[in-house]
Amino acid sequence: MSSIPIARHRTALTRHELSRPLRLAIDDGILDSSSTVFDYGCGRGGDVQHLRRRGIECTGWDPNYSPEEKRTPADVVNLGYVINVIENRNERVSVLKQAWSLAQKVLIVSVRLSAEARESSFASFEDGFITRRSTFQKYYDQQELRNWIDSVLGESSVAAGPGIFYIFRDQNVRQTFVASKYRRSIAAPRLRRGDLIFEQHKTLFEPLMAFITARGRLPMESELDSACDIIKEIGSLKRAFKIIRTVTGEQQWEEIRETRSQDLLIYLALSRFGGRPRFSQLSQDLQLDVRAFFSTYTRACELADCLLFSAGDPNTISNACRVSSVGKLTPGSLYVHVGAIHFLSPVLRIYEGCARAYIGAVEGANIVKLNHRWPQVSYLAYPEFERDPHPVLFASLVVPLQTFHIQYREYAQSANPPILHRKETFLPPNHPMQQRFERLTRQEEKYGLYEDPQTIGTKDGWEAALSKRGLSLSGHRVVRRTSPINH
């Protein structure tokens, strides 16, 4: 078997859009127009061209397609789907180390996962398979990949998505990034009534309000560019915030402080999975957050651990699902739109966060299923969620929290795929589509379309229920059929 020729060059793809790891890096703020990028093993150079078109400085090297290019250091180095096509284990280690040596800020490593494998027609070779095209593929489990990266580089990687990891050069930057993933979006409170001093100095107050909304605490002078101007005009940051609270109201700022302290606890709780950092490893802003909310790091970690352990109690999760103010509750699970995750209780955010800390962001998933009978979180993709009144399930990725043996299933070729009903129940508060979805549900209830819930959960079952009553859907409205439907 060792003499089998491996055609590595055949694994290079012609990319018509940016690859998934680099799209994630842009979405996560890892990569922007100020970054320099080196694509290690760039294949035909599709990602290099796509990044350049976005105004991002990018170069690439590939042993088959661009061997003459130099391997140069860059802020971000992308090792995209390279490791999994190398049949020699020692060479994989060497390539990973070389790529890491070039990464000045972040290394992105991506591979194909075992859940994607279709090995029934492949021939076993070394620790992977030989494909029909004489290429090699080594499929990884998510945890296997994490452990391998961490052991080779001596660093703690961060899951960005299924089969995708970030490795940060600076631990402070790593912790800031991880913490930001659990900080939900909040709007600053609106003015409650006019105030002369506030109106006179509105441009000074606005950046202070934005900072406190983002962090839940007063800034140090060094954290706010306008601090000196505020102190000169108002006297102190504390006095300025007192004026803001008078104008906007006390309660909303207390809620913001509580929200940000919860976000910090959730980050600290989930950081145990990757090795909780020492206090000195936190960025300065996170250190100040800890002191402002919990006085000491020890106290913050104790509270975070209590929250984490409660997420491992089946009764606690079951009760939290039953009383949740967001999501659609079924006998076995709570379903929520991804936009509603931050509106869940802290213990349910931890529960979902355990899966996300393992798998990262699941591209295309817009519904999260929190199983409250056994520890399992599923990510469901409904591409037409907003447009289709009853969208079809395209794919699901299941993360069992005890074994972490992920399961992936596609429904694109299914003749009778599952569909969704009562879409408004999945959404976060004040979602712009809420009223439209609610109106459709009221119509469907009026026509008795939900009388047999066991049969309407699939496309065929739902069509049969509509046909039986002489109904059809026009957008998000129920209408009478004017003529029979030919099948």
The answer, yes or no, to whether residue 14 has pLDDT greater than 50, is yes
- Percentage of the chain beyond pLDDT 70 is 93
The answer, yes or no, to whether residue 1 has pLDDT greater than 50, is no
Backbone φ and ψ for 406, nearest 5 degrees, come out as: -65, 150
User: Measured between alpha carbons, how far is 381 from 392 in angstroms, rounded to an integer?
Assistant: 9
Q: What is the pLDDT of residue 15?
A: 64
- The residue-averaged pLDDT of 458-469 equals 94
With cut-offs at 50, 70 and 90, classify the pLDDT of residue 9. low
Q: What is the pLDDT of residue 2?
A: 45
Q: At what angle do helices 250-270 and 297-310 cross, to 10 degrees?
A: 80
Candidates 4, 211, 229, 224; CA nearest to 126 is 4
Q: What is the pLDDT of residue 487?
A: 44
Candidates 59, 58, 5, 12; CA nearest to 33 is 58
Q: What is the pLDDT of residue 118?
A: 64
**What value does the mean pLDDT of the chain take?**
90
The answer, yes or no, to whether residue 332 has pLDDT greater than 60, is yes
pTM of the model: 0.80
Q: Which residue has the higher pLDDT, 412 or 56?
A: 56
Query: What confidence tens digit (pLDDT) does each residue in 131-146 have?
Result: 777 788 888 999 999 9
Contact 161, 361 (CB under 8 A): yes
Residue type, 201: H
The answer, yes or no, to whether residue 185 has pLDDT greater than 80, is no
With cut-offs at 50, 70 and 90, classify the pLDDT of residue 12. low
CATH T-level topology, domain 8-169:
Rossmann fold (3.40.50)
With cut-offs at 50, 70 and 90, classify the pLDDT of residue 236. very high
Q: What is the pLDDT of residue 76?
A: 97
Output the CA–CA distances (angstroms, integers) from residue 13 to 28, 44, 276, in the order listed.
24, 7, 38
The answer, yes or no, to whether residue 95 has pLDDT greater than 70, is yes
DSSP-assigned beta bridge partners for residue 97: none
With cut-offs at 50, 70 and 90, classify the pLDDT of residue 64. confident
CB half-sphere exposure, 27, CA atoms < 13 A = 14
- Percentage of the chain beyond pLDDT 90 is 72
